[in-house]
Structure 1
Amino acid sequence: MVDVVIDEERTPLAHSFLLYRDCDAVRPPWRLSGPYIRGVLECCTVRHFEVFGEPDHDIVAALKTPGGASFRFVVFPRLAGLPRLERPVR
């Protein structure tokens, strides 16, 4: 799921929210969208990048060094809650 919100009062500020089931669900869109995202990043500046959950080490490494860019990157691990179940409970 992807949602982009434009802050009209502070344009050109935008917020992009991406929600993935798990790390395996992140990898295919990254492979497909990589070239397009690089083009978008030529026009944008990432100020903050926050991840909620517990991404794999390779995902964290890729996010910390996207083409050598430097921005605030934080991972907020899950503390409590009811994560989605992989399969239905019977």
Structure 2
Amino acid sequence: MTGFASELIQSLSEAVAHANGQGDAIVHEAIDPREIRTRAKLTQAQMAPLMGMSLSGYRKWEQGQRRLSGPAMSLLRLIEKEPEAVRRALILNH
């Protein structure tokens, strides 16, 4: 069996375990990007670059047309707690 085939089988086994509520997967609590943006006193145009995405892509999150990934939720939580620190870390002007 090739390395790719072994990795594929392992990935599928992990996916089945996750679907059955087993394994090390982290389940993130629901998060509202609009609420976090509002509390951080940011516009959508200011928030999109902090998230590393286009304005239209960010708007789709707020409108529920696009699902948040785990890393996106983590970044939103950072922005919620420390928006200025995130701006400084990403060297973005507002």
State the TM-score, normalizing by the size of structure 1: 0.24
Greater RCO structure (CA 8 Å; 6+ sep): 2
Higher Cα Rg: structure 1 or 2?
A: 2
Between structures 1 and 2, the one with greater helix share: 2
Between structures 1 and 2, the one with greater strand share: 1
